[in-house]
Amino acid sequence: VATLRSFFKYCFKRGHIDKNPAQLLVVPKKDKTLPKTVNSSDIERMMDSINTETPSGRQDKALLELFYGTGIRLSELIQLNLSEVDLRNNQIIVTGKGNKQRI
């Protein structure tokens, strides 16, 4: 429906049609639902399954802890640089959507 509205709006503005037939069309809105979450026992099981005896295992555990403990988006976690991590003050500068930064 939105595509048709845009198409007819374009045609009307360009003078290809005299009247926009889609002007009164209403685009149905989707209900916003809460995202699905993982329960804490599954997280605990996942954490316990990581072999922290290896460097990659310690890295995996740190990333999962950060991901689960802070609620940052996966894209934010992936873009995180070591220079943005301040262990002394327990702070991380996260660059989110629209290049907005938060601590």
Within this chain, do residues 55 and 20 fall inside the same structural domain, yes or no? Answer: no
The answer to the question of residue 21 being in a domain is yes
pLDDT digit string (tens) for the chain, length 103 residues: 788 888 999 999 999 999 998 888 877 788 889 888 888 899 899 999 999 999 999 999 999 998 888 888 888 888 888 888 888 988 888 887 777 777 7
For residue 8, what are the contacts with CB-CB under 8 A and spacing of at least 6?
Answer: 17, 20, 21, 22, 23
**7 lies in which domain range?**
1-27
The answer to the question of residue 37 being in a domain is no
CB 22 within 8 A of CB 8: yes
CB 85 within 8 A of CB 92: yes
pLDDT score of 13: 92
Q: What is the pTM of this model?
A: 0.57
pLDDT score of 56: 93
The answer to the question of residue 40 being in a domain is no
- For the chain, the domain total comes to 2
pLDDT score of 93: 86
φ/ψ bin of 35: left (φ > 0), alpha (ψ from -120 to 50), beta (otherwise): beta
State the first-to-last Cα distance of the chain, in angstroms, to the nearest integer: 41
